[in-house]
Structure 1
Amino acid sequence: MLIHALSAALLLVTSAPVVAAPPAAPDIPLSAVKAHLAEFQSIATANGGNRAHGRPGFLASITYVKGRLDAAGYTTVVQSFTYGGATGYNLIADWPGGDPDDVLMVGAHLDSVAAGPGINDNGSGSAAILETALAVAAQGLVPGRHLRFAWWGAEEQGLRGSTHYVSTLPAAARAQITGYLNFDMVGSPNAGYFVYDGDNSDGTGAGPGPAGSAEIEAVIEGYFAGIGVPTRGTDFDGRSDYGPFIARGIPAGGTFTGAEGAKTSAQAALWGGTAGARFDPCYHARCDTTSNIDDVALDRNADAVAHAVWTLAGAQNV
């Protein structure tokens, strides 16, 4: 009887269903992200030195990103709008599958200011989410949520592209967007590691984001904690394209490595770099070229994008 009992127990153990762990996010190759930045630099150089709203360099940037996504199997739409007497464009890219009533959006502004090519601001965020989108396609990711990527126009003119997108969506389509991730300036030369403060844990600034923003913050902070990099919260102060989303109650989050502000002594002790110097010494300037990038910060943030997408999209094994 003991033999029969052991045999029955073994049968129960071996016949129990095996639940596979969700797939881990891939390492996003720094070389691939920098290749996109080199393309943005070449586009700017060939088009008057910038990729600004209403200028040929911006439309060429949209064309480049769209071509890569179309070849990878995305459904892309170029949405036009008018601001300041010039035509602007948003690029929206949908990955097949996932719950259409539970959409996770990932966005970055693609335009520069007229003064320069805008490689950190915001070629860096644009390139990081582009390479993440291409990794989604390369791995044939099966998300539980529907994945949508966006490259915004005219952010430097006051969030015009993202505002146009959110405000012109039908109410039902807007309600389907249940989270938005924003990546703006993720390779600053004197980098800080800032995560949008979804729960307002520092008790300052504009307050917490809409319900669900704290969960996004925790996912991103978890990635950086896992690689031993401390982070600090940055307020939802309305300076980037999360603004129109949180104004409609959509949870948001993302990363930022600093702009024209100066790094404090405490921040330099935390992250290295130069106290008293700006996070980005070429902010909104002609020198925001491919030389104006911290490779370590860019690499870490690109991997943070992928981690957030894989985790929050509910990635599933095939």
Structure 2
Amino acid sequence: MPLHPSPIRPRLATAALFTAAALITAGATPVTAGATPVTAAAAPDIPVTSVKAHLNQFQSIATANGGNRAHGRPGYKASLDYVKGKLDAAGFTTSVKQFTSGGRTGYNLVADWPGGDTDQVLMAGAHLDSVTTGPGINDNGSGSAAILETALAVSRAQFKPTKHLRFAWWGAEELGMVGSRNYVNSLSVANRSRISGYLNFDMVGSPNPGYFVYDDDPALEKVFKDYYAGLGVPTEIETEGDGRSDHAPFKSAGIPVGGLFSGADYRKTAAQAQKWGGTAGKPFDACYHSSCDTATNIDTTALDRSSDAIAHAVWELSE
């Protein structure tokens, strides 16, 4: 997430937990007496150990490339190649889009899961770049790894959603959402209208975490809020990252946006510490944009909950 500039709010989606009744697919073939009801597939549990394995890879890449994974630097391209390799092996159709910012070449990675109605596209995205001062493992290896493992879970399940699924890893977010803005600007009006929703995940494993949901679109917000309510985890509206992450270009283009956030350099209040645990008066991420944003700068519980919430939203919103 870039430095605090002008605010535009990220809004988060909230997802209702599946109940046995809610799992019956709307509009499915009528069930005759004595027949087994047709049910929608529930999202799988996302193994947090696998998400953390991706974070360890990002850390290794940064360590081998000057300590960062920043735009125009070798660590960024190596991170992109790692993610692309996983997706290609899992059966996604991937494309790399180049752009230029600050005299350096940047890249977006877009991965489409075959099938689904391409007139109704559900997107999930995260920025893959770090700042130049550190490896960026929470900001935003965490979101990048969580959506990568969700995409791999789609492949393992051979999920066949009604909507078309698209995942994206953005470049140069830290320079002002350059990659995602480039992508949105490249879309025709017709292709923008085909995106039913864009879900953004920027910093979802903060070490002193909060549980924040974007409130930009009520339907998307509800999916995430209901999911966390089912876990007994209270949420708050996300305000710290308003307009500071990759949902902003989508929102400006009239596309419904949602997402999750676990906090950056704002300080946790006493009331927040009482309901979430952690330390009041300390930042949600004291290593925000610093060299200490390493693989140890992650709260495993927050990362686990975020990853499962992402999968839940992808499954529910693409049916």
TM-score (norm. length: structure 2): 0.89
Deviation at 1:15, TM superposition (A): 4.7
1:28-39 → structure 2 map (5 Å cutoff):
28-39=46-57
1:75-127 deviation per Cα after TM superposition (whole angstroms, max 9, x unaligned): 00000000000000000000011110000000000000000000000000000
Instruction: Quote the Cα distance in structure 2 between the aligned partners of 1:237 and 1:280.
Output: 17
Query: Do structure 1's residue 218 and structure 2's residue 222 form an aligned pair?
Result: yes
Deviates more, 1:154-163 or 1:169-178: 169-178
Cα distance in structure 1, aligned partners of 2:192 and 2:75:
30
| TM-score computed with the length of structure 1 as normaliser | 0.89
Is 1:175 aligned to residue 193 of structure 2? yes
In structure 1, what is the Cα distance between the partners aligned to 2:113 and 2:144? 17
CA shift at 1:16, angstroms? 5.5
**Residue type at the aligned position of 1:264:** T
The aligned amino acid for 1:36 is H
Alpha-carbon distance in 2 for matches of 1:95, 1:15: 36
Aligned residue number for residue 202 of structure 1 = none
| 1:294 counterpart (292, 299, 306) | 299
Mapped to 1, the partners of 2:117 and 2:37 lie a distance apart of 21
Identity %: 66
Rg comparison, structure with higher value: 1
Q: Any idea what SS the aligned residue of 2:287 has?
A: coil
In the alignment, structure 1 residue 185 sits paired with structure 2 residue 203: yes
Residue 281 of structure 2 aligns with an amino acid whose one-letter code is G
- Partner letter of residue 216 of structure 1? L
Q: Choose the corresponding residue for 1:101, options 104, 116, 119.
A: 119
CA shift at 1:171, angstroms?
Answer: 1.7
Q: Which runs of 5+ in 1 are unaligned?
A: 1-12, 198-208
**Distance between the aligned counterparts of 2:314 and 2:252, measured in 1?**
22
Cα displacement (A) at 1:52: 0.2
List gaps (5 residues or longer) in structure 2. 1-30
The one-letter code sitting in structure 2 at the alignment partner of 1:299 is D
Q: Answer yes or no: is 1:196 the counterpart of 2:219.
A: no
**Matches of residues 121-270 of structure 1 in structure 2 within 5 Å?**
121-197=139-215, 209=216, 213-235=217-239, 237-270=242-275
Q: Secondary structure at the match of 2:43?
A: coil
> For the residues of structure 1 that align with 2:32 and 2:212, how far apart are their CA atoms?
47
Structure with the bigger RCO (C-alpha within 8 Å, sep 6+) is: 2
2:48 is matched by which residue type in structure 1? L
Aligned length: 288
CA positional deviation for 1:290? 0.4
- Residue 45 of structure 2 corresponds to 27
CA separation in 1, counterparts of 2:32 and 2:225?
A: 38
What CA distance in whole angstroms lies between the structure 2 residues aligned with 1:260 and 1:180? Answer: 25
Q: Which residue of 2 aligns with 1:6?
A: none
